[in-house]
Amino acid sequence: MALHELAGKKASKSMLVNVPRLVSSYYTDEPKGPVSFGTSGHRGSSLNGTFNEKHITATAQAISEYRLLKGITGPLFMGFDTHALSEPAFRTALEVFAGNGVEVLIHAKDEYTPTPVISHLILEHNRGKSKGFADGVVITPSHNPPGDGGFKYNPPHGGPADVDVTQWVQERANRLIDAGGSGIKRMPYEKARKADTTHERDFITPFISSLAEVIEMEAIQKAGIRIGADPMGGSGVHYWMPIAETYDLNIEVVNPDVDPTFGFMTVDSDGEIRMDCSSVYAMAGLIAMADRFDIAWGNDTDFDRHGIVCPSGLMNPNHYMSVAIWYLLRNRPAWGKGLKVGKTLVSSSMIDKIVAAFGRELYEVPVGFKWFVNGLLDGTVAFGGEESAGASFLRKDGSVWSTDKDGFILTLLAAEILAKTGKTPAEIYQGVLVPEYGGPYYKRTDGPITGEQKSLLKALSPDSIKVPVLAGLPVTAVMTKAPGNGAAMGGVKVLLGDGSWFAMRPSGTEPKMKVYIESYGGKALWEQIRDEALPLIFGKRI
């Protein structure tokens, strides 16, 4: 895709979403599409009829019925982020949950709630219990543009719901919509707020007080590291200062503003306002002030992703994940040798080499954090991470911390790494990992995809690709299933002789083709792989 002329520049006023119209459409427009759970919940916009009140009433009712079906009788933790549609959806959902007699715990004073906080609270409640399990809902479209809304369900394991759950919920929700809302139990918001089943709690303090169980906070404090934190207008905006005060850290929140238009953002590569902390264009503001800090970071709107900014600039997410794994395997002595290290199929092969060097087992799965949930929960997977800058890992004692992506601990880990090694993660990657394991050139490129191409990708098998050589390198393996768990990846990954590889898969949330290529021969080989790979699969370049 061509780079937009405003990429990396502040959004113009003409680009900002009309919030009154957005919210009005949520309440008044009819659905123009079904409830559809992608890789992380139902997402859409009220402006095109794909996220409105009827979607949310039906989804909340379906979740209430699913809880009853599965005997989930504990509280439901519910939070929302700073997108304009999130609070209306929160109010709608509370009306339905209260109407169904579901015990709901919400953040006191209508405070925003990050995704990892909900996951952590669910797990803390369920620890040691044999019944009365809690679950949760996070109302967020993640880093998506300001006009979008999102609704995610986390079952009692604390992580993203698996396909068997989301399929049941979406099918039931769509039947409710088709029936005109018949069967939906609901009460007015003020009554729901005062219901005996609705309880307000402080979500911030218990989460922050537990951070020292997963991060060496004292080491960061003693090193006196100057930290810059950019919440990017997201749900963790009011967490960083309490973290700084609790642990006596030198943190400057560079942008404490909350604005549902996200008018303070710089524009992403395609001209959209998108709170993507792994994009140099969306992170341009923080990158410009990188020399003011020893380490800096940004998070997306629901704080399940991280972007690490060193004085040298924004780190590639694969580079940081490689450093994080390398560091943790050296500095978590309580983590047993039998623990696995998890990555997705489209993450850097640098991770494979690091894991092998430490004598650990690699757990390679398809895209989607849900694949790491059970391993993190039972403590058999020490770290689970995605190339899209989302990850979590175990506490220092090897017990579960969260089973959803956690942008707090991944960013604080960068400060711990600097405090304990005296080097930034970028310096470790270039000065330690590249000399030891080589320096791959990794880049993902997106493009349009037709329904026919999507079906073709999903139907591929290893026997579908028979060429012995690609880009001058021998084809060593063709994969359509992940070696870690045998699950279908929904696309294909082709391994080449020197460690280079490419993978293709359709996006789970947008009509896009995602092409991942990692070259151990620099940019030139990367381009050659791209030019030969696309025709190999589709018969032409796309």
The residues annotated with a catalytic role in the active site are: 142
Tokens of 100: 């169904």
Angle at CA of residue 87, ends 139 and 154, nearest 5° = 15
Residue 305 has φ and ψ, to the nearest 5°, of: -125, 165
List beta partners, residue 250. Answer: 226
Nearest CA among 261, 203, 253 for reference residue 14: 261
Nearest CA among 107, 527, 85, 467 for reference residue 301: 85
Tokens of 135: 């679950």
| DSSP strand pairing (41-44 vs 361-365) | unpaired
Q: In this structure, which amino acid lies at residue 531?
A: D
Tokens 């949310």 appear where?
A: 56
Q: Residues 78, 364: contact at Cβ < 8 Å?
A: no
What's the rounded Cα separation, in Å, for the pair 241 and 347?
33
What's the rounded Cα separation, in Å, for the pair 441 and 522?
5
What's the rounded Cα separation, in Å, for the pair 129 and 107?
23
Tokens of 536: 């190999």
Residue 334: strand, helix, or coil: coil
Tokens of 377: 């929960």
CA 438 to chain centre: 28
Sign of CA pseudo-dihedral 275, 279, 284, 286: positive
Q: How many residues does the chain have?
A: 542
- Say if residue 196 is exposed, middle or buried (CB neighbours under 10 Å; 0-12, 13-18, 19+): exposed
